[in-house]
Structure 1
Amino acid sequence: MTERFDIVIAGAGMAGASLAARLAPHRSVTMIEAEDEPGYHATGRSAAFWAESYGGPGITPLTIASGPYLRRHGFLTPRGALTLAREGDRGRIAAFVSRFAALGVDVAMLNREEIEARVPGIREGWTTASWEPDCCDIDVAALHAHFLALARRGGAGLRNRARLSSARRERGEWQLVLADGATMRASVLVNAAGAWADGIARIAGAKPLGIAPLRRTVAQVRTDPPAPATLPLVLDIDERFYFKPESGRIWLSPHDETPSAPCDAAPEEIDVATAIARLEQVVDWRAEHVERRWAGLRSFAPDRLPVYGWDPVAEGFFWCAGQGGFGIQTAPAGSALAAALLLGQGGDEPLDPAPYDPARFA
């Protein structure tokens, strides 16, 4: 028996779940998720922080607009973010502070003494930094569960182990076939498939946008001395590392972006070793043991901005993809913007949709 919906969303990670939560009160919606459970890939492997400058100026408006929702529902815990640089890069830090302050970010320059107060054991040479006091940790699992619950309460469905096999447009509707042979019809097909977004476009006969999955590695490391709980998120102006405390340990990344086919990403030992080597160039702590390591795929459009909106050619095909590594921290505003575009309504957030329109690649 063929099921009929107004909207079928391919993908039930953070992008698909948050959009389904917005749409469910207004349309009949179901999510189809290829994995055994939603959020298995990028959503479940996030480094879990919310920083207004992270991702660059094009991402900042989405992050700032998401802040009130995340705070109101209790998903943020204060952390603070420190972006480090050496003395020769003082001008770059000044430009960084100026650029993001103009966008409304609370950000200031720090000197060596102020850095030492925040990062005990900081090595010589790191003499300047930016400071963002509003940076927070995100409870990613709770946020994803929240959106799934809202979607369910609104009447949205979720089918796991439901890989899209074919999609064709006939008489104003999508005729969808899943890998298990089940069939669906829908007026709208939403592409929220993360690393698989271009693949979904090909199945639907839409032009791929060049959304590229890039592997990011994170390791949980026990250090001597143990990481202080008050340690901020520490990043590098050259984007060579970041680390933050987690339950007395360090979550550490070499900030890698290795091209990958869409897959169940796994960490490479060389990337973990690189991360530790870079950590030991920043602080005088000793990495005693790598307790966990994981990798996820962060999927970027060619201009590294997300893609929200109707495909310029394929009728009834809507993009909600390319969120890179910023889809968690921007989910409330991104989903509100996407839902407003899809429903033809004014958005709750004062965001310009033009920078995220898929037509920019036409």
Structure 2
Amino acid sequence: MDTDVLIIGSGITGLSLAAALAPHTSVVIVEADPAVAYQQSARAARQLEPTVDPPVLRALQRRAAELIATAFGAGASSVASPRRRVFAGSERQVGDLAVAGGLTVADDPAAALGQVGARDLTGAVATDEGIEIDAGVLQDHYRAVALDVGAEIVPVADVHTAARVGDGWAIGAGQDAINARTVVNAAGAWADPIAVVAAVEIQGLQPLRHTAAVFALEAPIDPDIPMFVRDGVVIRPDGDGLLVGDAVGSPGIPGAVPPSPAVVQNLRRAASTLTDHSIGGLDRAWTAVRTRGRDGLPVVGYDGEAGGFFWLAGQGDGVVHIAPALAELAAASILARHGIDRTDARHGIDRTDAAGTGEHGQPDTDAILAALSPVRRVPTRPSADLGRTAPVH
């Protein structure tokens, strides 16, 4: 099988890129699992928060929101809907977060939380810019678009061999032998292992396991109350229940594993301790892996040594929130390498968001790609704190 671009991984990252590329060049997606997005995106975070992450991620989040609105038109509210977000902690913690995100510290923390029923607050900071995304609907959309414009998806095709041949790559995936000009490593938690198979230097990506649980409530709550983040725990309504999630995560290895009963019990205890709600029985619980770059930013771009090997990994807990924007940038970069002019795709990100300089509203995709490049110098990643965008599964 021959193709211009081979994408490894059928999460929302790979699907959105295929949808952007396939109108202009041939695309094949290989997926180790029998179904697309089985491991990651279906359990991905639902909350888009464009105010507390680094400027590069804020720019990508805002652009992604624009692309979602354009793609769904009048139906966009079924995919993305507003939800207020409140961070609680010590006065110093919320003060630091307010400065970093340009937010306002609440004079009355309890009032800022509405009906969330939080206990023993010393400080809170709130933002009205949060957007909750239905990850399942979004990934189904990109899968349908990718197939409609000619992309091919090959399931049960674990990559077992990869070799540079001439100006391209020869890939063994499942029972297929595939030749491609560009290989895109969008394998999520498996991105570094894929690099090892291809004899490409790894990026030192950090897989982190996050567990979430939905508990029944003895009394109903307003489904529109804010998301509440405190002490490494995220709490928000989920249907008639209460979702409680681990916002920090713990080091793990790729793969689907059942949630630990001890972790689920800790989440129940946190919900009972941090809120006044009467927590009922467990409805469901799950664990998902978020993979981050060493500095907390994604890794996007052609490898510095291995020609034709394109990284698209490390999006962390914000994968759903930035995938459309990263697909736009990655597609423009790949098509340019293939000699296909797509300058109209290199737009939409404010220069002031990306780098803090230049004329507002002008394209600055080069600045974004430089910040995310696999060859960038990566400092030691700071430890997670209150200001990290919290994953909600």
Same fold at TM > 0.5: yes
Q: Taking every aligned residue pair, what percent have the same amino acid on both sides?
A: 28
Deviation at 1:207, TM superposition (A): 0.5
| Equivalent residue, structure 1, for 2:381 | none
Aligned mates of 2:52, 2:16 — CA distance in 1? 20
Deviation at 1:116, TM superposition (A): 5.7
**Pairing partner for 1:130 from 125, 132, 148:** 125
1:19 touches 1:335 (CA, 8 Å); kept in 2? yes
- Contact 1:22/1:336 (CA < 8 Å) preserved in 2? yes
Letter in 1 for 2:118: I
Judged with a 3 Å threshold, the aligned counterparts in structure 2 of structure 1 residues 120 and 214 are, in CA distance, closer, same or farther, namely closer
The answer as to whether partners of 2:161 and 2:172 remain within 8 angstroms in 1 is: yes
How do 1:88-237 residues align onto structure 2 when only pairs under 5 Å count?
A: 89-101=90-102, 107-112=103-108, 115=111, 118-123=114-119, 125-180=120-175, 182-236=176-230
Residue 82 of structure 2 corresponds to residue 78 of structure 1? yes
2:4 counterpart letter in structure 1: D
Take 2:251 and 2:14, find their aligned partners in 1: how far apart are those partners? 23
How far 1:53 moved relative to its partner?
A: 3.6
Distance 1:168 1:358 in 2: 20
Alignment pair present for 1:358 and 2:374: yes
Partner of 2:298: 306
Determine if contact 1:253/1:272 at 8 Å carries over to the other structure: no
Give the TM-score normalised by the residue count of structure 1. 0.91
For 1:52 and 1:353, the matched residues in 2 are separated by: 19
**Structure 1 residue 41: Cα displacement:** 1.1
Q: How far apart, CA to CA, are the structure 2 residues paired with 1:250 and 1:206?
A: 44
1:40 aligned counterpart, secondary structure? coil
Q: Secondary structure at the match of 1:210?
A: coil
Considering fraction of residues, name the structure with more strand. 1
- Give me the whole-angstrom Cα distance separating, in 2, the residues matched to 1:337 and 1:34: 25
**1:69 positional shift:** 1.9
Structure 2 gap ranges (5+) = 337-341, 350-364, 379-393
Aligned to 1:30: 28
Alpha-carbon distance in structure 1 between the residues aligned to 2:251 and 2:186 = 20
What SS does the aligned partner of 2:160 have?
A: strand
Secondary structure of 1:121's counterpart equals coil
Structure 1: 4+ residue segments shifted above 4 A: 54-58
Gaps of 5+ in 1: 102-106
SS at match of 1:36: coil
Residue 47 of structure 1: how far off its partner (Å): 3.6
Checking the alignment, whether the CA contact within 8 Å between 1:229 and 1:247 is kept in structure 2 is yes
Q: Does 1:273 align with 2:265?
A: yes
* Cα 1:271/1:253, change in 2 over 3 Å: same
State the Cα RMSD in Å.
Answer: 1.8
- SS of match in other structure, 2:328: helix
Give me the whole-angstrom Cα distance separating, in 2, the residues matched to 1:91 and 1:54: 16
TM-superposed deviation, 1:55: 4.7
Deviation at 1:94, TM superposition (A): 2.7
Q: Does the C-alpha gap of structure 1 residues 6 and 169 become closer, same or farther in structure 2, counting only changes over 3 Å?
A: same
